[in-house]
Amino acid sequence: MDYRGLGALDKKYVWHPFTQMKEWTEGATLVIEEGLGCFIKDTRGRWYLDGVSSLWVNIFGHRKKEIDEAVKRQLDRIAHSTLLGLANEPSVLLAEKLVRLLRESFKGEKRHQLTKVFYSDNGSTAVEVALKMAFQYWIHKGITGRNTFVSLNRAYHGDTIGAVSAGGIEIFHGTFRHLLFKTFKAPSPYCYRCELGLHRTSCGMDCLHEMEKILTGHATEIAAVVIEPKVQAAGGMITAPEGFLRGVRRLCDKYGVILIADEVATGFGRTGEMFACCTEGVVPDIICLSKGLTGGYLPLAVTVATEEIYNAFLGEYGQLKTFFHGHSYTGNPLGCAAALAVIDLFEKEGTLQQLKPKIEILHEWLKRILRYRHVGDTRGAGLMAAVEIVKNKETREPYPFEDKIGWRIVLDVRGKGVFLRPLGDCIVIMPPLAISPENLTAMLSRTEESIAGITEEERP
């Protein structure tokens, strides 16, 4: 079927996520039919650099031979077998490999060793599992009343009800507030638009002090602190200053609460380290992983907990200490086979070492484009970054929401062969880790051209 027919069927039957469908059905539909390396091709035969890694999941590019072959080999054996009452080979091997990878990444830190792997389907469910685990842990310890959580303003942890309760993005979550359970919100370390009206050079990281005030007053109510370490991705690639993550770990230790690290977006090399927590030598009590886990091939997620948390759930059958949670496709063999291939590729190709020159290219570009009068801020870690576009640089006044400045920029750069997706007026840069320096440079140059063109600036 040609692109017109597919586009018409899409508009007639498909309800797209995070999309105003009235506008969608009135515009042209880009239908993707093929991918190769860091490029995707539409049904008209046009190729685009995949500048957002197919929503932050793709690491090694499309049609990566080793992952293709791993999935095909597994498909020749069995596509799915439940973990309820059974085990399967790929899920066992992957759990062992993940625990070893976490141990090696955190350089032997023994206080919070992550050793128990619980499988689910996506980032939202990985976080949902972590919240329920933390809540039930305290019950099994005989400590009552710990039935809420601390999270950050502008946080995004997924779209299930528990994950939304821990979220903090009004435009995404406000509609559902009456469905949510109570959580405490601490200030986001959003230095460009500090919630406390302070400046990073002299603030003393007061956002941590505000979190401590919450813990001081409510420690006996709080089961866990849940954060996206280093970068709050969907919040606008908000990048925490050095020391913030260590400060959160210190507060959790001081007040005796669990630390949940949501590394769904930041894990598997995105920040330049295997896990974002490694950037400050912090080991959480529970870590949530998904997205890059399978290299962008199949839905799979894990929630990995410490031995101490796991042991609290052990008991006699009649004690009902079982963790009553699961999914139909938990530990799916195809997804686990893809994930095993992904971890092997990190070792085989030296992925983290190969990132260094590309990170330098990106971050030099982020510094340089600050010269534009409508580029208010640039930020990021590793190969995940954002450019915040503003109407007035001196006052940091944003463009009116209805101006859709971010969307206008990414639609313009799409015409130049680069696919991006904004977060409001933040232009997100998050290509596959395997992107070549040449393609990265081309993508950034075209993005800069579109930023300049749409905001009516001359390129310096």
- Residue 460 is predicted with a pLDDT of 63
- Residue 27 is predicted with a pLDDT of 87
For residue 213, the surrounding DSSP H or E stretch is helix 206-218
Of 148, 231, 157, 223, nearest to 188 by C-alpha is: 231
Please, which pLDDT band fits residue 1 given cuts at 50, 70 and 90? confident
- Residue 70 is predicted with a pLDDT of 98
Does residue 356 carry a pLDDT above 90?
A: yes
Q: What is the mean pLDDT of residues 394-401?
A: 95
Residues of the chain with CATH 3.40.640.10: 72-349
pLDDT tens, position by position, 78-133: 999 999 999 999 999 999 999 999 999 998 666 678 999 999 999 999 999 999 99
Q: Where are the beta strands (DSSP E) in 193-310?
A: 222-227, 231-232, 238-239, 258-262, 286-289, 301-306
| Cβ–Cβ < 8 Å for 263, 231 | no
Q: What is the mean pLDDT of residues 28-40?
A: 96
What is the fold, at CATH topology level, of the domain defined by 72-349?
Answer: Aspartate Aminotransferase; domain 2 (3.40.640)
> Which 3 state secondary structure label does DSSP give 228?
coil
Percent of the chain with pLDDT over 90: 94
Q: What is the amino acid identity at position 99?
A: V
Of 360, 154, 126, nearest to 262 by C-alpha is: 126
> Which 3 state secondary structure label does DSSP give 72?
helix
- Residue 108 is predicted with a pLDDT of 60
Structure-derived torsion over alpha carbons of residues 264, 270, 272, 276, reported in degrees to the nearest 10: -20
pLDDT tens, position by position, 234-246: 999 999 999 999 9
Of 122, 100, 147, 86, nearest to 303 by C-alpha is: 122
Chain centroid to Cα 74, Å, comes to 27
pLDDT tens, position by position, 280-291: 999 999 999 999
Location of structure tokens 């002090």 = 209
**DSSP letter, residue 62:** B
Does residue 52 carry a pLDDT above 90?
A: yes
Please, which pLDDT band fits residue 457 given cuts at 50, 70 and 90? confident
**DSSP letter, residue 382:** T
Q: How many helices (H) and strands (E) does the chain have?
A: 15, 17
Percent of the chain with pLDDT over 70: 98
CA-derived radius of gyration, the chain: 22
Give the phi and the psi of residue 262 in degrees, each rounded to 5: -85, 95
pLDDT tens, position by position, 203-233: 888 999 999 999 999 999 999 999 999 999 9
pLDDT tens, position by position, 285-326: 999 999 999 999 999 999 999 999 999 999 999 999 999 999
Does residue 420 carry a pLDDT above 80?
A: yes
- Residue 442 is predicted with a pLDDT of 98
> Which 3 state secondary structure label does DSSP give 193?
helix
Q: CA separation (Å) from 413 to 41, 408, 410?
A: 15, 9, 5
CATH architecture of residue range(s) 31-63+351-454: Alpha-Beta Complex (3.90)
Count of residues making up the chain: 460
Strand order of the β-sheet with 184-186 is: 114-120, 301-306, 286-289, 258-262, 222-227, 148-152, 184-186
- Residue 199 is predicted with a pLDDT of 86
DSSP 318-361: GGT-S-----TTTT-HHHHHHHHHHHHHHHHHTHHHHHHHHHHH
Q: Tokens representing 181? A: 């359970």
Residues of the chain with CATH 3.90.1150.10: 31-63+351-454
Please name the residues in contact with 219: beta carbons below 8 A apart, sequence gap of 6 or more: 255, 256, 257
Location of structure tokens 């490999």 = 97
Q: What is the mean pLDDT of residues 440-452?
A: 98
Strand partners, 302: 119, 289
Location of structure tokens 């060793």 = 113
- Residue 110 is predicted with a pLDDT of 65
Location of structure tokens 């128990």 = 116
Strand partners, 259: 225
pLDDT tens, position by position, 54-67: 999 999 999 999 99
Distance, in Å, from the CA atom of 36 to the CA atom of 62, rounded to the nearest integer, reads 5
Does residue 200 carry a pLDDT above 80?
A: no
pLDDT tens, position by position, 233-279: 999 999 999 999 999 999 999 999 999 999 999 999 999 999 999 99
- Residue 75 is predicted with a pLDDT of 98
